[in-house]
Amino acid sequence: METKQFSFEFAGRPLTAEFSPLAEQANGSALVRYGDTVVFATAVISATAREGTDFFPLVVDYEEKFYAAGRILGSRFVRRESRPSEEAILVSRVIDRAIRPLFDHRMRNEVQVVVMALAIDDDNDPDVLAILAASLALGTSNIPWNGPIGAVRAIKKDGRIILNPTYEERKGAEFDTFFTSGINGHLNMIEAEAKEIPEEELMNAFEEGLAHIELALEFQKGIIRELGKEKTAFEFPEPTKELANALKPFLPRLEDAIYDPIKKKRAEDTETVKKEWMRHVAEMFPDTPRALAQDLFENATNDILHKNILDPAQGSEKRPDGRRVNELRPLFTKSHILERHHGSALFFRGETHILSVATLGAPGDVLLIEGMEIREKRHFMHHYNFPPFSVGEVRPMRGPGRREIGHGALAEKALRAVVPPKEEFPYTIRLVSETLSSNGSSSMGSVCASSMAMMDAGIPVKRAVGGASMGLVMYADEHTGVIQKYKVLTDIQGIEDHLGDMDFKVAGTRNGVTAIQMDVKVVGVTLDIIRDAFNQAKSARMRILDAMDASISAPRAELSPFAPRIVIISINPDKIRDVIGPGGKVINEIIALTDTQIEIEQDGHIFITGLKQENVTKAQELIEEITKEYEPGQRFTGKVTRIFNFGAMVEFAPKQEGLVHISELAPFRVEQVTDVVDVGDVVPVEIISIDEMGRINLSIKRLAALETKKSAGEARPQKAHHEQSRPSRHRREHR
């Protein structure tokens, strides 16, 4: 098998790309190594166009392979990969967002990019390699694509920026950002999570990372020149002058429809004009492909939006709902919507309406994640729902799709910076954002509503988190891609997202940024555009936080009465076995008796959760009795549980026994233990010693109790000589 290898130094470590006939039937493939992490990407295009499709059909799949981690994972009953994990879906979305803008969207042939993680080491995340492998597979194939693209991960830790950090280096980083770039060094995808970081620090990371991405691009260009196949030429029909002129009478009505401030009315009116146009084309230009007529109409819609914002002659900065470019839509906020829930809030921004609900659970309610890369217990999670009625549609509801998972993960990143650590607030926290009405930026609306819901639940978050999405309209040179003119739009709505050139979501607190997500519909954007977008996003965020503060500005002092109560106690780890008991007998008895949930950690921390405070307190008392550290000289009252020839066992605390040797039963000689005590007797005891194995020795004779027994014993000889000296059992029970 002939193999060609290419290598270069990438962020301080060698990266190798291999090309071989491993996937001989694919249009293009590449295997990329970084350390011992290996990914394999393939790209395939269908031989024919998909009929009846009015969009470019691109599918990207990132496949996690459990063998890559050297583990047998999955369900006990299905030891193989099944549906993609959320992590795999998020990586698939990242690859898709990075490569999609560089295709000609007039194509209707299906393209599928599959990236498989074949091996992962303890240092190198495969996501950066996945981008590079996909880029090389497309770049060396015959599939038309305007690549390559490069990617890099940048973090800040201990005051310095680290590129392509190891897993260990990423722990405790101030920010973690992953971004891509292609033509002209323009950014075309950003993912970032940060701990309230100033925008300028993130700009520094982008600048430093772009220099290394440029090396990756030059590396790929050299490979493509040597191995790249000739690109398949697709001929796309161009509209005739007559067809273009035929659309002009429809444009005034189209513009009126676009600039209706009500989304539903806008969509209905636009669709009416489009249907009339398509009927006109069918009648007057019967040989015109339907897709060409649709593309012409869509391009005209796009041109109207761009011209009315960018061209002074057209009434500069005219947006569909009449706002200025830096103006927010009307805001409405309210907390404590649902009485029985632990926390809830509403956030409206224009026609985007979000209801978020916070639920508190026991520490044991954590989300268990066992994947190729990630194996953890997650005590904070955010889930996002996007039902069809939120956009006035009818479609089946079949659980979360890629969009829901992606938006939920973004909001979770944005909020994680302010969530208290488990040691301070031991509850498991689940947030759910319900999109009740959507007209753009529902993910950022979810951040705002969820931040308020956490405060309403009494979760001691550091600060409120808000977010908004910035859009972009721009003119660029058709051949060089150089951007000639642009405007950043604050708080974009659906039509501006659809027709605009960028969706730049920024979430954060008053102190700094906590999350970023950016994707574009053009080849990329400059750092100057990013800087302007940051500035407008910060201004918008402050106004949004003001509106949120008007409803709730700090966490409530008390948890909801319907929230569970948790107590944390710390015990000597050596006592854990006493709390658990043989086969879990002791702890299960406490759980059943108190109706609580109890989790024990190896370091001796015990979390007790219950719906009633009195039950939690009772469980705490029982555990503290079991784990109490005892010392000689302490006195108790206990019950005799067992009798031996040499003494008696007395339970002087819950599940805590000690031995009273026969010599310590009474201040006189005792021939038989039962002469003094019997099973069930309640007796006073004193601890006289604790041996090295933790066994406790007790004494009764040291206490001036059991007066009746002692007096009776002194008044009569021992049982061996006088059979009547010991009272009958009946008499003893009724003294």
* Region of poorest pLDDT, from 19-33, 163-177, 330-344, 467-481: 467-481
CA–CA gap between residue 594 and residue 243 (Å, rounded): 79
Q: Distance (Å, rounded) from C-alpha 208 to C-alpha 186?
A: 13
* Residues 676, 662 contacting (CB under 8 angstroms): no
Residues of the chain within CATH 1.10.10 domain(s) are 241-314
343-349 β-sheet, strand order: 331-335, 343-349, 352-361, 428-437, 380-385
624, exposed or middle or buried, with CB in 10 Å at 0-12, 13-18, 19+?
middle
User: Which pLDDT score is estimated for 226?
Assistant: 96
- DSSP 8-state secondary structure symbol assigned to residue 105: T
Confidence of residue 710 (pLDDT cuts 50, 70, 90): very low
Closest CA to 591 of 621, 624, 619, 569: 619
Q: What's the rounded Cα separation, in Å, for the pair 320 and 261?
A: 6
- Contact residues for 341 (Cβ-Cβ < 8 A; gap 6+): 357, 358, 359, 560, 562
Q: 529 pLDDT exceeds 90?
A: yes
Q: At what angle do helices 290-310 and 263-284 cross, to 10 degrees?
A: 130
Write the Ramachandran bin of 174: left for phi over 0, alpha for psi from -120 to 50, otherwise beta: alpha
Helix, coil or strand: residue 326: coil
Q: pLDDT above 70 covers what percent of the chain? A: 94
pLDDT beyond 50 at 536: yes
In the prediction, which pLDDT does 315 show?
57
Topology of 635-733 in CATH?
A: OB fold (Dihydrolipoamide Acetyltransferase, E2P) (2.40.50)
Does residue 725 have a pLDDT over 50? no
**What CATH number belongs to 331-462?**
3.30.230.70
Which two three-digit tokens encode residue 124? Answer: 């190198």
Give domain 4-231's CATH architecture: 2-Layer Sandwich (3.30)
Amino acid letter, residue 252: P
Phi, psi dihedral angles at 580 (to 5 degrees)? -75, -45
The pLDDT tens digits for 84-142 are 889 999 999 999 999 999 999 999 999 999 999 999 998 999 999 999 999 999 999 99
CATH number of 241-314: 1.10.10
Output the six-digit token pair for 368: 């268990």
3-state secondary structure 611-622: CCHHHHHHHHHH
The answer to whether the bond into 148 is cis (omega within 30° of 0) is: yes
CB hemisphere CA count around 582 (13 angstroms): 1
Nearest to 378 by CA among 339, 330, 416, 337: 416
Question: For 550-607, how does the pLDDT look when each residue is reduced to its tens digit (9 = 90+)?
Answer: 999 999 999 999 999 999 999 989 889 989 989 999 999 999 999 999 999 999 999 9
pLDDT of residue 708: 43
Let me know: does 407 contact 432? Beta carbons within 8 Å. no
Distance from C-alpha of 31 to C-alpha of 47, rounded to nearest angstrom:
24
Under a CB-based contact definition with an 8 Å cutoff, are residues 505 and 541 in contact? no
| pLDDT for the residue numbered 654 | 73
The third-level CATH classification (topology) of the domain covering 565-627 is: Ribosomal Protein S8; Chain: A, domain 1 (3.30.1370)
Cβ atoms 275, 298 nearer than 8 A: no
| pLDDT at residue 578, rounded to an integer | 87
CA distance 385 to 356: 10
* Model confidence, pTM: 0.86
Asked whether residue 79 carries a pLDDT value surpassing 70, the answer given is yes
- Model pLDDT, residue 709: 44
Task: Report the chain's terminal Cα–Cα distance, integer Å.
Answer: 98
The Cα–Cα gap between 16 and 7 comes to: 4
Q: How confident is the model at residue 732 (pLDDT cuts 50, 70, 90)?
A: very low
Average confidence score pLDDT of the chain: 91
